Amino acid sequence: MYLPTNKYSLCVLDDIKDHNNTIPPSQRHNFVFLATTNNVYCIQPQFDDATAISMQEIPIYTIARIPADTEIVSMTAFRHNEEKIVLAIAITIAEERPSRGYLYLFIFTEDELIMKRVLRQPQDNLLRSFPLRYVPMQLLRKRVELQGSISNILLLSGLDKSVHCFATVPPEQGYNVPQIQFMELDSYEYMKDLFPSLLHLPASALCIDIFETETHQITAIGCQNGFLRLTVLSKSRQGEVLENAPLFMNGPVNSLRLFRVRSQCEDINNPTACHPFVGNLLKQMTGCDVDSKTKSTELSDDVDLGYNILQCLNLVVGEAMGRVTLFRNVEQNLLEDAIVLVPEVIKKDSTPFSFTSTPPYNLSRRSSVTSNSSIPPSPSSLTQTRQDSVLCVNYFDIDADGLNEILIGTYSKKMLVFKMNTYNNQYELAEIYKYPSPVYCIEPVDINCDGVVELVVSSMHNLHIMQPDLEEMQKKVIDRLTTMMDFLFPK
């Protein structure tokens, strides 16, 4: 019997995206965690073969002493102690009684997970547990400055129309423990300064995304009743709301993401995003910067939007009723400039994206998970598709052209890929991938840290890992290096 996942089941811990510069490069590892209703798995490269990917079950019921007959609702992961390379996993558990749930956190070391594959004794791993008075939903983690130090903040949305806050607390603040602990913060007192946009919601939050720039914090939140809110906060004046844009969609907002179209060096002024030399070179070659309002050389001369669409921040929103809306340049236009992505016809001249896929991992009750011989996902031969319930949205530069594609997972077992057409500056349907069950989560991550990003797709009963064609990637890298050399050293 295969166990189902849900839309909050997939979690990626990426050191590069999290800007964990205190961790030596040789010790940086990316982790992918997947939860079914009763199990948690870790996806990682094999110790003896970095090109091979394995999936191992984590015995959470032994480690965290989780009650029996419970169901995992959501999860997240983070580095609990960067100096000791200690990870922490936070999961929410719902018992048979719908009015109660539990939040468990437990830690394990990197060496034990990757090298020995043996976890600590049960009494060493449970960090803290919290009884909840509401049904838990999305669980996400942010790093913020709290009381003069950097803390891991857990944000948990619930069916009580609130977002609850949990944070790390140093031992010197009254806790007689040898290590950092977690405590539940007064949601209103702390959230009004850190995340005021998450207060006073008219319904339960289904999805939250927070995008950080040097000067602003942009928060997008979608609710069960179709309420959508976009908020721009000032970082220099903590808690000050610069812009607040509410909007009601046609139905429940299942998923949303903030992103830039250009995938390379999303924030050129941020030294942790890319090397300054790379940022300056990109600016010289393309003639644009993050703060530039002029058109990029890649944009069509026939279209003038008044801003650089490749560098501005956009918001893609997926509704349960099947509509996907793209809000462009939300930092300036908020939710006023909107277009609907229509999955109707694939252009005949579109080139299929070259991906190889590992056989899907079946998620069963067995402790050892093996792959089966099912047909891997492939580009669909269909030229048309109907609107469908949208379960997840994300973005990823699939074809390595420097521009992010929009990825949409649907209930009808498809992943739709929308690509930017630089001639008319519109996203158009480029490819459809079919899966054996509804697509709940899509996450790009470099699992084996070889510089090539894989695409992890979680469907209801399977996990798919899609890897780009390495020969095509090699050709693209050589072409880019040749272009850079010609630019730097013209003949």
Contacts of 408 (CB under 8 A, 6+ apart): 318, 324, 341, 343, 390, 392, 393, 415, 416, 417, 418
**What are the pLDDT digits (tens) for 438-449?**
999 999 998 877
Q: How many CA atoms lie within 13 A of 416 on its CB side?
A: 31
Which range among 8-22, 34-48, 169-183 has the greatest average pLDDT?
Answer: 34-48
Reported pTM: 0.82
Structural domains counted in the chain: 1
pLDDT of residue 393: 96
- Asked if residue 281 has pLDDT above 50, the reply is yes
Residue 219 domain flag: no
pLDDT of residue 365: 43
Confidence of residue 370 (pLDDT cuts 50, 70, 90): very low
pLDDT of residue 422: 81
Q: What percent of the chain has pLDDT over 90?
A: 26
Rounded-to-5 percentages of helix, strand, coil across the chain: 15, 40, 45
Between 22 and 422, whose confidence is greater?
422
Residue 223 domain flag: no
Confidence of residue 435 (pLDDT cuts 50, 70, 90): very high
Residue 426 domain flag: no
Residue 261 domain flag: no
What does the buried/exposed string (b/e) look like for 216-242 if buried means 16 or more CB atoms within 10 Å of the residue's CB?
bbbbbbbbbbbbbbbbbbeeeeeeeee
Between 232 and 280, whose confidence is greater?
232
pLDDT of residue 1: 47
Residue 94 domain flag: yes
Residue 23 domain flag: yes
Residue 75 domain flag: yes
pLDDT of residue 414: 93
CA 393/CA 324 separation, integer angstroms: 9
pLDDT of residue 372: 32
pLDDT of residue 36: 87
Q: What angle do CA 90, 91, 96 make, to 5 degrees?
A: 155
**Which region among 238-242, 344-348, 460-464 has the lowest average model confidence (pLDDT)?**
344-348
Which range among 56-60, 215-219, 378-382, 446-450 has the greatest average pLDDT?
Answer: 215-219
Domain housing 169:
1-194
**What are the pLDDT digits (tens) for 203-226?**
999 999 999 888 888 999 999 999
Residue/partner pairs of 280-288 with CB below 8 Å, 24 or more apart: 281/484, 281/487, 281/488, 284/487, 285/483, 285/484, 285/487
Residue 104 domain flag: yes
